Each structure stands twice: as structure tokens, then as C-alpha cells.
């Protein structure tokens, strides 16, 4: 991703405010999340193949891309749903182990939550998250401190994980009720 | 301006150890998503929020300190996490509007 000619100086671009929406299929009980860059979270039920997706909840969040100020290269981070910190709930979790090791070296680990990754996306995400880490680290003023953004699939079991996702819950209680006719 | 000087000037109450850092500007928001996208390193972050995610977002952006307005209580869990991240949490009984006025007067 990084070209040899450019040492890259990343800045945020295409900042999109919206919602992380959680939905559940009431046919097979599968759950999934996605980012909706809308003013209010979409709550309509809909069918997708064998699935019947039903709105479960949402929280406000932000999506962004990174752009190099030198060469204008853009790193598209649309797969990124949010960042999460580890709460240390189980020793079986690679994120927990890594977070503990890194904290002793003043490195703060954030897990990037993405849509269900396939093999190709996993390969690309590692590069993208390295750029995201660089973006944060290039701005740090506190001497000796570092940020490391790692893939969310290091989490042992996302369904039972107690990690803290950086999002705004309960900040949108005045949203308009859906209009009924 | 250094954080310790600002704390004294505005009579801000430290809720944990003061990690004295250079302060450059302020950012006002009660949303962590806003801070991730808009706050700059060395800003002081003025908010009424006190949950743990505040520390996670402040640490990510490397703000100089978090200032909690309206005297909102801060949990031990949040303070412990802030100290691990060498992040100062300051408190004031002032509301956000009044505090921001004082920050401006102080040259922040």
C-alpha cells in the first residue's frame, strides 16, 4: 500500500457520522451489524434471501477514510464499524493477551471491528489498520506512548466479549418516531 | 500553556494524578465519536460524560486532559483507566458554557 516514493502523512477525510445498527434474523437467530450513514437509524424489517432481518438497536458512531497529504492516496476504511478496547474478560482471548503485553510498554491496543471478513478482506485490513495506527501515532504528543490498531478477529468470542466499543449509546433518544398513516 | 497552570488558573479539581502536558486548544463534545473525528492532540476535552469510553477516546486522540463539567461524579473504574493511560481527569462545578468562557479568557 505504501509507495516507496512517499513517506505518507495521513489525515482524516470523508468523515461520515451515522449509526452502528445491530439486526437479527428471526428465522435463524443470526445477528450482524452494519454502519448506516443516515440521520436516523433505519428500523424497517426486511427480507434478504432466507433471512428476515429485524432491527435490534443502534448507537451513534463515525466512519472515515485516510488521505495522504503528500501523494493524495486514499485508504478506504468503509469496512470499519468501530474501535474497541479490551476489558480483560478471559485469558483465552488473544486481544487480552496482546493488550496486557503492550500496556507494559505503553502501547495501547484498539481492536477494529469490521463486517464479517473474508480471506481477501483480512489480507487488506492488516495493511489498512497499519495505516490507521500510523495516523494516530503520528499525532501523539505524549512521549513514549503508542497506539496499535489490530484486527477484531483476535477477539476470542465477540458474542461474549465485554470489551468497550467506542460509540455513543443512548444519545439519540429524541429521534422522531416513525410516521404512521 | 501547561496543564498544571491551567488547573490552578481555573481552580479545576484533579480527580486523579495530574500528568502535566502542554495544552493547545479545547474541544467540547459529549460524544466519543465526535472526539475521535474532531479533537486534536493536546486539546483539553470538555464534557459531561464520565464513562470508560471517554478515557479510551481521549487516549486514542492523545488529548491533554478531560475536564468534566457540572461536578458530575467519575467512577473509580474510569479514574483507574485514566491513570493507566496517564490521562488527567479534572472536574469543575461550572456548566460547560461557563467553563468554555473561562478557558477562552485564560488564552486556551
Contacts with B84 from chain A: Cβ below 8 Å: 103
- State residue A107's pLDDT score: 96
pLDDT at B78: 95
Strands A80-85 and A107-114: antiparallel
Minimal CA separation from B79 to chain A, in Å: 15
Predicted confidence (pLDDT) per residue in A70-101, tens digit: 999 999 998 888 899 998 888 899 999 999 99
CATH number of the domain to which B43 belongs = 3.40.1390.20
Our count of domains for chain B comes to 1
- The pTM score is 0.88
Contact B60 A167 (CB under 8 A): no
What's the whole-number average pLDDT of chain B?
96
Whether complex ipTM tops 0.95: no
Q: Which residues contact A126 (CB under 8 A, 6 or more apart)?
A: A151
**Contact assignment for A64 to B37 by CB distance below 8 Å:** yes
Identify the domain containing residue B52 by its residue range: 3-105
Give the model confidence (pLDDT) of B47-83 as tens digits: 999 999 999 999 999 999 999 999 999 999 999 999 9
Chain A residue closest in CA terms to B23: A141
Q: Do A168 and B33 count as a contact with CB atoms less than 8 A apart?
A: yes
Amino acid at each position: 500500500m505504501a509507495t516507496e516514493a512517499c513517506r505518507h502523512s495521513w489525515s482524516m477525510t470523508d468523515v461520515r457520522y451515522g449509526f452502528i445498527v445491530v439486526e437479527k434474523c428471526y428465522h435463524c437467530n443470526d445477528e450482524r451489524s452494519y454502519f448506516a450513514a443516515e440521520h436516523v437509524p433505519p428500523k424497517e424489517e426486511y427480507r434478504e434471501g432466507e433471512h428476515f432481518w429485524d432491527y435490534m438497536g443502534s448507537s451513534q458512531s463515525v466512519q472515515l477514510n485516510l488521505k495522504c497529504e503528500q501523494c493524495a492516496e486514499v485508504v478506504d476504511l468503509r469496512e470499519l464499524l468501530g474501535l474497541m478496547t479490551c476489558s480483560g474478560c478471559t485469558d483465552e482471548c488473544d486481544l487480552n493477551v496482546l493488550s496486557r503485553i503492550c500496556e507494559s510498554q505503553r502501547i495501547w491496543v484498539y481492536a477494529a471491528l469490521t463486517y464479517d471478513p473474508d480471506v481477501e478482506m483480512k489480507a487488506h485490513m492488516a495493511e489498512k489498520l497499519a495505516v490507521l495506527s500510523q495516523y494516530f501515532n503520528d499525532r501523539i504528543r505524549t512521549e513514549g506512548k503508542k497506539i496499535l490498531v489490530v484486527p477484531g478477529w483476535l477477539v476470542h468470542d465477540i458474542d461474549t466479549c465485554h470489551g468497550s466499543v467506542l460509540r455513543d449509546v443512548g444519545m439519540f433518544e429524541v429521534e422522531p418516531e416513525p410516521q404512521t398513516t | 500553556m501547561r496543564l498544571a497552570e491551567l488547573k490552578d488558573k481555573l481552580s479545576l479539581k484533579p480527580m486523579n494524578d495530574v500528568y502535566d502536558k502542554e495544552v493547545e486548544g479545547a474541544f467540547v463534545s459529549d460524544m466519543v465519536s465526535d472526539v475521535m473525528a474532531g479533537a486534536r492532540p493536546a486539546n483539553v476535552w470538555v464534557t459531561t460524560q464520565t464513562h470508560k469510553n471517554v478515557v479510551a477516546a481521549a487516549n486514542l486522540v492523545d488529548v491533554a486532559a478531560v475536564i468534566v463539567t457540572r461536578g458530575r461524579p467519575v467512577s473509580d473504574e474510569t479514574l483507574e483507566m485514566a491513570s493507566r493511560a496517564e490521562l488527567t481527569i479534572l472536574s469543575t462545578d461550572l456548566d460547560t458554557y461557563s467553563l468554555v468562557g473561562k478557558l477562552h479568557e485564560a488564552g486556551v
